[in-house]
Amino acid sequence: MNVVHVLCLSMLALLGTVRCKAEEPPAVSAPKETWKEQYKLLMDARSMILAGRLQDAIDGPLSVVATFFENKYKNEERRIYCANSATESLYYLLLSAKDKGSAIAIDAPWATTYYMKAYAFFELGNLDQAKMFIGKAVALSPANSQYLAELGHYFQLEKNWAKSIDLFRQAEAGANLASQEDLKKMDLGRAKRGIAFCLVEQGALEAAAKEYQECLRIDPNDTRAAKELAFVKEEMSKKR
């Protein structure tokens, strides 16, 4: 399975589980109805994307939501983070305090908008724009395992294995901030499979096998990891 196919499958699967809560984040003073409008627009964009109306989603609801947040926070001097959970919010605020900085943590839709734009541009074949927007999502949510893993995939496309592994390691660490155990397992599996893929490309088959085995320890039903592990073992047997 090549890198482009892996990335496409990954983003399509995750688009179906876009993580955003239909509630107003407590750190934001915008009227609740205003936030509900942004969530509705994101769901409209998701429907358009799944229907193949990629450019319509980019030019329509995704641009509207992105503009809303960019204008709302354009004069904000504090560092802005987008978080999917109270745990992630606390992580960012403690990180900022540790660095003697000032920050606010808001809910996820701004970063989600950039993630969805990345997916749409990827499907349209515009990898430069796709990578730029997933980078923007990571800038807003630097511990988001999902976004970090997606950015790691783009560096796989460039065969920058070291950078890709670094991002997947960050994604692995970020998985611990997931609010639900099933999401944590999914995030960990995705990150470890990404690391293993890079290791295979580097010829480090034993290390890759260990990552795939760890995937199966986390989730015995991880068929992708099982399939890739079988491939790695076959390749290792050829070298003996």
Are 120 and 58 a contacting pair, CB within 8 Å?
Answer: yes
Q: Are residues 130 and 29 in the same domain?
A: yes
**150 falls within a domain:** no
Helix 109-123 and helix 63-72, axial crossing angle in degrees, nearest 10: 140
Per-residue pLDDT of the chain (240 residues; tens, 9 = 90+): 444 444 444 444 445 444 444 333 334 444 445 778 899 999 999 999 999 999 999 999 999 999 999 999 999 999 999 998 889 999 999 988 888 889 999 988 999 999 999 999 999 999 999 999 999 999 999 999 999 999 999 999 999 999 999 999 999 999 988 878 999 999 999 999 999 999 999 999 999 999 999 999 999 999 999 999 999 999 999 877
Q: Are residues 133 and 211 in the same domain?
A: no
- 180: domain CATH number is 1.25.40.10
Return the amino acid letter for 226.
A
Q: Are residues 57 and 118 in the same domain?
A: yes
Domain residues for the domain of 27 are: 1-142
* Cα–Cα distance, 157 to 154 (Å, whole number): 5
Q: Among 114, 142, 170, identify where a domain stops.
A: 142
Q: What pLDDT, on a 0 to 100 scale, did the predictor assign at position 97?
A: 87
Q: What pLDDT, on a 0 to 100 scale, did the predictor assign at position 33?
A: 52
Q: What pLDDT, on a 0 to 100 scale, did the predictor assign at position 240?
A: 72
CB neighbour list of residue 80: distance below 8 Å, 6 or more residues apart: 73, 103, 104, 106, 140
Q: How many domains does one find in the chain?
A: 2
* Cα–Cα distance, 175 to 209 (Å, whole number): 21
User: How buried is 65 (Cβ within 10 angstroms: 0-12 exposed, 13-18 middle, 19+ buried)?
Assistant: buried
Helix 109-123 and helix 145-157, axial crossing angle in degrees, nearest 10: 30
Q: Are residues 173 and 129 in the same domain?
A: no
